[in-house]
Amino acid sequence: MVQRQRLVDDFVALCRINSPPKQEAEVIESVLPRLRKLGLEVQRDNAGRHIGGNADNVIARLPANVPDAPAVFFSAHFDTVEPNPDVRIIVEDDLIHTDGSSILGADDKAGLASLLEAIECIVENRLPHGEIWLLLSVAEEIGLLGAKHLPLECVNATMGFVLDTGPPVGKVVVGAPTHDHLTVRVVGRAAHAGAAPEQGISAIVAASRAIARMKLGRVDEETTANIGSFHGGQATNVVCPEVEIRAEARSHNTQKLEAQLAHIIACFREEAEAMGAQVEIETSRHYEAYRLSEDAPVVQIARESALALGLPYETRLAGGGSDANVYNAKGIPTVVLSTGMDLVHTHNERCRISDLEKTALWVLEIVKQVAQQSLP
């Protein structure tokens, strides 16, 4: 039923379109005519205006031909982690990759291509299905911005499936952490480093002493923390008056996350105070954690569908976020399904054609399982 060559051609064509965050207009315009031709009702929201991008989220609906079946949504994102305007794609045997000079874009065009192929199969074969929604987002890679502005209240779905993690196909992400970001400014006092260093207060030293005290990396089984960037100073003959640090913390446990943030903040404040420096700290939340149980209907559907296809089903907790964090926070139970994307966010990124096929078949099996819930 899945047409392998069509799927490969679609995936390669999508990957050839440069679509970094906030610049997804071209790839969206390539997808919309196909959705409309298949009979989906298509609309766009105003996400682009809110986030400063050139494109909006796409919300598409395929009306049910099994009226009593539960409504579900499938989701993928249009943007890639970095630009790849001159991508050189190599297809050899079962593997698709680049020449190593850029990312491939399989994150998340593997999910998008497999989803489009599944919808194509549903329509052309007139398969039984409930109401199906497609939520295709922008700017996922820079903080789930598109999903945060998607008007989910207009989507009539009882559960959701996000196609946005790596192999093996059959893996289901049932939980992800809360992610908080910190921007820290340590302000000392400038002085000539040779003539009067004792008159200065080094922001670099104060910040470094704070960081040296911190619990970072893998804090515990549920919590991580990282100093991502450290900027400041102008010349070696000036006691550095100011630095800016960007950091993050993540945890599947909100109390642990709050404790880790308090620890980081206390380290900066105490070391700054000890040296007579000042510190300014801003925190922001990128997304909220979620955790679904094995008996949640959306997990059961994902499991039964995977097992029906003979896929190696397993559940996992993610260390990072996805649009599923937003959809769960907005009240629709959502899991993340594995796809063919592998070694993502690197120039070694690749995708197996067989995994693209398995992902499309998994979507079809989920649609089938959902439709059967209302059949006698």
Which stretches within 71-229 are classed as H helix?
A: 106-124, 145-148, 203-213
First to last CA, the chain: 25
Q: 246 - beta bridge partners?
A: 183, 229
Q: What is the pLDDT of residue 1?
A: 87
Mean pLDDT of 8-37: 98
Contacts of 283 (CB under 8 A, 6+ apart): 180, 181, 182, 261
Confidence of residue 115 (pLDDT cuts 50, 70, 90): very high
* Coil vs helix vs strand at 226: strand
CA separation for the pair 88, 86 (Å, rounded): 6
- Please state, in angstroms and as integers, the Cα–Cα distance from residue 320 to each residue in 180, 289, 304, following that order: 11, 10, 25
- Average pLDDT over the chain, rounded to whole? 97
Confidence of residue 373 (pLDDT cuts 50, 70, 90): confident
For the record, the structure tokens of 270 come out as: 């105490």
CA 271 to chain centre: 35
pTM: 0.93
pLDDT in tens, 231-267: 999 999 999 999 999 999 999 999 999 999 999 999 9
Q: Which CATH number describes the domain made up of 4-176+289-372?
A: 3.40.630.10
Q: What are the residue numbers of the active site? A: 79, 140
Length of the chain: 376
Domain layout of the chain by residue ranges? 4-176+289-372, 178-287
pLDDT in tens, 266-293: 999 999 999 999 999 999 999 999 999 9
For the record, the structure tokens of 166 come out as: 């790596």
- 119-148 burial, b at 16+ Cβ within 10 Å, e below that, comes to bbbbeeeebbbbbbbbbbbbbbbbbbbbbb
Confidence of residue 375 (pLDDT cuts 50, 70, 90): low
SS (H, E, C) 36-96: HHCCCEEEECCHHHHHCCCCCCEEEEECCCCCCCCCEEEEEECCCCCCCCCCCEEEECCEE
pLDDT in tens, 317-368: 999 999 999 999 999 999 999 999 999 999 999 999 999 999 999 999 999 9
pLDDT in tens, 292-331: 999 999 999 999 999 999 999 999 999 999 999 999 999 9
Say whether the peptide bond before residue 168 is cis (omega within 30 degrees of 0). Answer: yes
CATH topology of domain 178-287: Alpha-Beta Plaits (3.30.70)
What is the bridge-based pairing of β-strands 132-137 and 178-187?
unpaired
